[in-house]
Amino acid sequence: MKKMRRSAIKAANKELERIDVFFNTYANMSSGLIDPEGIERLCSDVEVDHTDVRILMLAWKMKAEKQGYFTLEEWRTGFKAIRVSNKYALKKALPELEKEVRRPTNFVDFYSYSFRYCLTEEKQKSIDIDSICELLNIVLRSQYQAQVDLFVQYLKTQNDYKVINMDQWMGFYRFCEEISFPDLSNYDPELAWPLILDNFVEWLREKQTQS
């Protein structure tokens, strides 16, 4: 029994060593972090664009705190979880990671994380409209293309909001999940929807009557 335990510990240590070597391939040696340049190289090695949603999913798996940077601890957390220690295994693991994140219980957490990950300044609580539109296209468009396209169009033409906060961000996801689209028949503005969504629905109804 002890021998088995020793062997398991030895294997885990070896795996961790491989993960650390993999980290050092992309780390900036002076800062001890993987920075945006290192992430670009990682993306190139696994043949995905740096704006690919799966890179954001990887950051979610690592519980990465700062956009564009990975610490060794975060890297270990993520790569131990997906059991990967080299670029070839990572490339193979990405479709499975995406499947995991797309499960409804995980996706809500990932969607919320993607907003927090984009808060780059201390005490920042909201994100500018252009960045939100980009983020919606990366994170949500593959699931709710019609809703995202129209919401992005609305955000770019309205003048009332310069930024979006977490409550509005999560509200839009709930809207996509719960509201019959495009007829909006079950949307009730008396319920606790963020005001921006009441305005969006009003804009949509006007658009529909015009067409």
Chain segment 114-156, per-residue pLDDT in tens: 999 999 888 899 999 999 999 999 999 999 999 999 999 999 9
pTM of the model: 0.91
All CATH 1.10.238.10 domain ranges of the chain, comma separated, are 8-102
Cα 135 to the chain's mean position, in Å? 8
Output the pLDDT for position 88: 96
Output the pLDDT for position 1.
60
Separation of alpha carbons 43 and 56, rounded Å = 11
What integer pLDDT is reported at residue 210 of this predicted model?
Answer: 85
- CATH 1.10.238.200 location in the chain: 105-210
Instruction: Name residues of the chain where pLDDT drops below 50.
Output: none
What DSSP string describes 161-210?
Answer: -SEEEHHHHHHHHHHHHHS-TTT-TT--TTSS--HHHHHHHHHHHHHHHH
Residue with tokens 């610490």: 71
Instruction: Kindly indicate whether the domain formed by 8-102 is annotated with CATH number 1.10.238.10.
Output: yes
Residue 13: predicted pLDDT: 82
pLDDT of residue 122: 86
Q: Which CATH class is domain 105-210?
A: mainly alpha
- Residues facing residue 34 across a β-bridge: 70
**Maximum C-alpha span of the chain:** 76
Closest to 18 in 3D by CA, of 85, 89, 72, 87: 85
H-only helix segments in the chain: 2-26, 36-45, 53-62, 72-82, 87-102, 104-117, 129-139, 145-157, 166-178, 195-210
